[in-house]
A and B are shown apart, each in its own frame.
Chain A
Amino acid sequence: AQSVAQPEDQVNVAEGNPLTVKCTYSVSGNPYLFWYVQYPNRGLQFLLKYITGDNLVKGSYGFEAEFNKSQTSFHLKKPSALVSDSALYFCAVRVPILTGGGNKLTFGTGTQLKVEL
């Protein structure tokens, strides 16, 4: 069965420093991977996705993610963190459609990012 793991419940970083939020996956076949962000009392917002091709995917708000097949990872990164980036970040994997999953996403447990001055 497909799954994603986010090993850190919380990541703290100083504003202006680079940030990394980790995600590893387990899936049969080619993985389709996503990052979403959830601000307090809001729904999830799509940041970026990996389908195929370039391992470095650029997304919204200056975020990017690096797909690493050998390490089965899809870490979210940003060169310079902002206080406004503080939120809950979810990694997700799309179930292979051949198994009848439609567009079903399996989410990780979330990582709370806290950016401080």
Chain B
Amino acid sequence: DTAVSQTPKYLVTQMGNDKSIKCEQNLGHDTMYWYKQDSKKFLKIMFSYNNKELIINETVPNRFSPKSPDKAHLNLHINSLELGDSAVYFCASSPGQGSIAQPYEQYFGPGTRLTVT
């Protein structure tokens, strides 16, 4: 069984369009994340939700809007797509936010390669 899954795997679209990427985890985790990996493989966190509550919101254009309908799902909606949005987007999850003494490792999905033309 796939632990963290994302759909679609590939997404090709034109500038100005609106698109969504979906993520689901079946690990029973409380915390989920969205990361962006650019063409140079640099990986940066965008958002994190814990039990459907937004806890991390990095400096991301407000064209990006995450939504967590339940703690097993975290979707990413992108409005008015731009060329610079082309990247691989990874979803991840962890058992929780962790504590001072217990940082949790994160489990990553396979990624969604978004190409904006």
Contacts and interface: CB of A to CB of B under 8 A. Distances in A.
A110 B31 CA distance: 24
Given A43-B109, A103-B94, A97 B100 contact: yes
Contacts of A45: 108
B115 interface: no
Given A42-B110, A97-B97, A104 B45 contact: yes
A34 B48 contact: no
Interface in B28-59: 31, 40-45, 48, 50, 55-56
Interface in A84-115: 88, 90, 94, 97-98, 101-107, 109-110
A22 interface: no
B43 A51 contact: no
Interface string B103-117: 111111111000000
Contacts of A38: 41
Contacts of A36: 108
A34 B98 CA distance: 14
Nearest to A44: B108
A38 B4 CA distance: 15
Nearest to A49: B105
B62 interface: no
Nearest to A107: B43
Instruction: Classify the interface of chain B: helix, strand, loop or mixed.
Output: loop
Nearest to A112: B41
Contact of B90 (A44, A104, A106): A44
A42 B96 contact: no
A94 B4 contact: no
Contacts of B109: 43
Given A43-B111, A103-B98, A90 B43 contact: yes
20 contacts: A34-B103, A38-B41, A42-B110, A42-B111, A44-B43, A44-B108, A46-B107, A49-B105, A51-B103, A94-B98, A103-B103, A103-B104, A103-B106, A104-B45, A104-B48, A104-B56, A106-B45, A107-B43, A109-B42, A110-B42
Interface of B: 4, 31, 40-45, 48, 50, 55-56, 90, 92, 94, 96-111
